[in-house]
Amino acid sequence: MKKRLRLIAILFSISFIVMAGLSLFSVDKFTSLINYSYWVDHSNKVIQQLYKVEGVTKDLDRAERGYMLTRDTMYQRLLYTSIRKINPLLDSLKYLTKDNEGEQNNVILVRSALAMRLNSIRENLAFLDTAKTATVSSYYHEGRQAMKECTAALSVMYNTESLLLAKRVENKMFYQHITSSTLKYILFFFCIITIILFILMIRELKRRVVFQDELNNKVADLERSHSELEQIAYAASHDLQEPLRKIQVFINRLLYLKKEQMDEESRDTLGRITSSAVRMQELIEDLVNLTSLTQQQTEKEQVDLNKILKHSINELSEKAEQKNAIINQEVLPIIPGYPGQLQILFKALLDNSLKFTRDGVQPIVSIRSDLVSGEELTDINPKYAQQKFHRITVSDNGIGFDNKFTHKMFQIFQRLHNQHSEFHGKGIGLALSQRIVANHNGHILAYGHSDVGATFKIFFPLEQ
């Protein structure tokens, strides 16, 4: 499943990179298209302005000739109107061609030629108004020559702008084609990748549906197993303990009725039977306690661990007095939890510390609390390093243990000492402790040194 998800992630990453590359390429070409579109419009504006200037020069020529032929003042008004248009048109033309040095020089030539043309027109009109002859003056011929120069300069500008326009139109069409093709490729590639990813996601969804069905079946099997476990626990707490109680009753009755007829060996044998029955009954009770911890719990409540610890110390006070033990306690926090389970937890840990003591060394048990990050739990889950925990530390100066056996300590019915050892135990206390801590979403760690002592660290998550 992880390989399939990795494949989907790789395909998605590749498609994203390709799409991003094509998009950037398309944006670049689209920018060029907009740029050349602007310059095409700019060349058209220059050419239109040239047409306007050329039109004004023709109006000047028509007005001059009309006045020469008819002496009608209407042509003078047309002439003056055209003259007023010249400078704004040339200024606009100069502004439009500011990026082209050659065109700027041509504008200067046009302006100069028009200035000569206007001067010739004025001199010619003045000559016509004063002369009585119909002979054409030399000013007219000078004006025609200036007109030719102006027309030539305008023609050069027009040809230049026409070449620029053709080139810019060609570039515009090229980038328009590139942009259009790129968009088509993006759309095609996007559709292909979408279809592929859709097919993969559908297949993965089908696999997950099958996996979910299998998981549901396994959950149902687990629930049946859990129900059977509860039935076994019920049988252990009722049906199995009843014969043990009867064994103890009948042995005690036999000892009472036949105490005068029994020798020491018989009484010792019956005592051993009674002791074994009691031990078995205790084991069954602990097993029932362990299985009960897997059942559905009630709502958590705020639990003062100081009261829990005090109650546990009171329950073990007789054992502590027998061993002359010192129990040092710091202030513990208040956490959400199950009081009954926490009572079992602290009692088991204290009982463990008071049980495994060293001869000739006064037992000292220390319980302290601090607020820490989950750095010590990163081997379990690296995310715990960013989380806060209430850490409860229970340490002693007993016989300790070798850390290589840590993995066995929390397994049910696992003991680091054999049955014939001086340290008696059933091998279930730490298994109970681990189950209780797990019910509180916490973790328990054990550290030990032989003939130095043992330390148990309990981590309860700090609820935000």
Q: Tell me, what's the pLDDT at 171? A: 86
> Cα–Cα distance between 392 and 303 in angstroms, integer?
14
Helix (H) or strand (E) holding 145: helix 138-237
Instruction: Note down pLDDT in tens along the chain; length 464 residues.
Output: 567 667 667 777 777 787 777 778 777 877 888 888 888 898 898 889 888 888 888 888 888 888 887 888 888 888 888 888 888 988 888 888 888 888 888 888 888 888 888 888 888 888 877 766 656 778 888 888 888 888 888 888 889 888 988 898 888 888 888 888 877 877 887 788 778 878 877 887 888 888 888 888 888 877 777 676 666 666 666 666 777 777 877 777 777 777 677 777 777 787 788 777 777 776 676 666 656 655 555 678 899 999 999 998 898 888 888 888 898 988 999 999 988 889 888 988 888 888 888 888 889 999 999 999 888 888 888 888 888 999 999 999 888 887 776 766 776 655 555 444 444 555 577 888 888 888 888 998 988 888 888 899 999 998 75
Q: Tell me, what's the pLDDT at 370? A: 92
Tokens of 118: 């206007």
Tokens of 3: 């390989």
> Cα–Cα distance between 345 and 337 in angstroms, integer?
12
Strand partners, 368: 393
Residues 6 or more apart whose Cβ sits within 8 Å of residue 205: none
Q: Tell me, what's the pLDDT at 421? A: 46
**According to the CATH classification, is domain 2-202 in 1.20.1330?**
yes
DSSP for 19-60 reads: HHHHHHHHHHHHHHHHHHHHHHHHHHHHHHHHHHHHHHHHHH
Q: What is the phi/psi pair of residue 136, to 5°?
A: -75, 130
Residues 6 or more apart whose Cβ sits within 8 Å of residue 5: 204
Give the N- to C-terminal CA distance of the chain in Å, as an integer.
34
Distance of CA 209 to the CA centre of its chain: 26
Single pTM value for the model: 0.50
Specify the CATH number of the domain 298-461: 3.30.565.10
Q: Tell me, what's the pLDDT at 405? A: 66
